[in-house]
Amino acid sequence: MILVTGANGQLGRCFRQLAEKYPEWTFFAEGSDTLDITDETAVEAYFSGHKPGWVVNCAAYTAVDKAESEAEKAALINVTGVQHLARACARHGALLIHFSSDYVYHGNQGTAFSETDPVSPAGVYARTKLAGEKAALEILPGTMIIRTSWVYAREGHNFVNTMLRLGRERGHVRVVADQIGTPTYAPDLATAVLEIIGQVENGIKKPEELAGTWNYSSEGVASWYDFAHAIFETAGVQAVAEPIESSEYPTPAKRPPFSVLNKSRIRKQFGLHIPHWRDSLKVCLLPESHT
């Protein structure tokens, strides 16, 4: 049985949608309304009653700017909640897959970050995500931590849908061009995780081979401006993206100036095919051309 927490978020919804492709597995998808991971008693009761073999934790506090004024709430979800899940997994013998963020690599090294590169989180959100990673691995060393970046999906609050709305409303959008990273299509990430679970379930990989920190994003590199331009072009929205510097768009939380992720480890270890971000954007915005 696979328990997906944070099931009402954009990544959690992707796991729910993909579940039908895996009829041999039982999925339980729980949002905060049915399983509050910040309530340790509720978590323990859930594990005792359902006995999941896998936990895929999509629950997270992701309001990056709001976190600066809601540090306790961010830490409660991103650290304390993760501790509760890790302890329950350790007690009940479940395997834990937990998602983290490119924000932990706040640096200017100019080459793609590998999992062994130094971390230097800036801001509450980034610090809580890193603290959540450490907490999970300390409690349950076999935890699989997947750091990802710029996640979007067809539904939900994300950069793609914001740009589509603003582009149609205004016809002209100013977008930061000096922050570099890679968009990640949530269904691609969910598919990769289920493929990895399948390799363990089928005996191709051992559970201990999942342990530690891994990077996953789409292939390729982009600025937010590049991404916005591609969104308008792909969706056929008659709008102009104007490149600006980060200093022209101040935010409460600092964004990583460069957070491209090196995916060679996860690609080689599990034989994954990782699509280019432009190809995945087409799948997202033009689904009829890929049926």
Question: Which tokens hold the place of 229?
Answer: 């331009």
Among candidate residues 239, 241, 215, 222, the one with its CA nearest the CA of residue 281: 222
pLDDT band at 83 (very low <50, low <70, confident <90, very high): very high
CATH class for the domain made up of 2-150+185-219+259-274: alpha beta
- Catalytic status, residue 125: yes
Rounded average pLDDT over 211-218: 98
| Distance between CA atoms of residues 10 and 286, nearest Å | 18
pLDDT tens digits, 3-14? 999 999 999 999
State yes or no: pLDDT of 291 exceeds 50: no
Residues 6+ away with beta carbon under 8 Å from 205: 196, 199, 270
pLDDT band at 217 (very low <50, low <70, confident <90, very high): very high
Q: Give the active site residue among 125, 152, 185, 216.
A: 125
3 state SS of 241: strand
pLDDT band at 110 (very low <50, low <70, confident <90, very high): confident
pLDDT band at 108 (very low <50, low <70, confident <90, very high): confident
- From the number of C-beta atoms within 10 Å of its C-beta (0-12, 13-18, 19+), residue 41 rates as exposed
State yes or no: pLDDT of 177 exceeds 50: yes
